[in-house]
Amino acid sequence: MPSKVKTILLICTGNSCRSVIAQGLLKKMLQGKGAYEVVSAGTAGLVGMRPTDEVIQVMSEQDIDVSGHRSSALSEKDIREADLILVMERIHKQIVLSHAPLAQGKTYLLSEFGRQKSEEKLVNPDIPDPIGKPLDFYRKVFDVIKEGILRTVKKLEEQ
């Protein structure tokens, strides 16, 4: 019997920058590693927006095309159907849990998910929003997200 598809939901504010980067990276890194559906949404309720030009460029530098992505608003259905929810900021986690308190055991900050107990605790676990910032800032945010995605893939492989 085939194993159930695991749904991983990535959340940021507008679903046009950070969660798009995380979704593109995670999809690429999970190819051929099991049955995963990787989706994303934003807490700001914006629907149908394209990723920023900077996100499209930074991702194309990684051979990942996100130009067809359109933003979607976080819904209670998204939260309910997700097996794992990874958020970019503490406020996003608060929003998820205010909509669905039962999501407590499956909602994590991307920057903290899969961290070893021996690693230093992060002073600020929030991944900064690059909107309106220069391209180099997007690249720095990409690097932080990539680190979290690498840890996530490792943790998923261990399960």
CA angle 147, 154, 90 (to 5 degrees): 50
First to last CA, the chain: 18
Alpha carbon distance 17, 34 (integer Å): 26
- 2 — pLDDT class (breaks 50, 70, 90): very low
- 46 — pLDDT class (breaks 50, 70, 90): confident
Alpha carbon distance 145, 86 (integer Å): 11
Report whether 12 contacts 41 (CB < 8 A): no
pLDDT digit string, tens, across residues 50-91:
999 999 999 999 999 999 999 999 999 999 999 999 999 999
Amino acid in position 22 = A
pTM of this structure:
0.94
Indicate the DSSP class of residue 83.
S
Q: Where are the alpha helices (DSSP H) in the chain?
A: 18-30, 53-60, 76-81, 90-99, 135-158
Domain locations in the chain as residue ranges: 6-158
* Residue 13 CA, distance from chain mean position: 11
Catalytic annotation, residues: 12, 18, 129
Residue 1 has pLDDT above 50, yes or no: no
CATH no., domain 6-158: 3.40.50.2300
- 120 — pLDDT class (breaks 50, 70, 90): confident
Q: What token pair was written down for 134?
A: 């220069």
pLDDT of residue 3: 54
Residue 34 has pLDDT above 90, yes or no: no
* Residue 57 CA, distance from chain mean position: 18
DSSP 30-45: HTTSSSEEEEEEETT-
* Percent share of the chain, pLDDT over 90: 84
Residue 116 has pLDDT above 80, yes or no: no
Residues 6+ apart with CB under 8 A from 93: 87, 107, 108, 109
Q: What token pair was written down for 50?
A: 């394209």
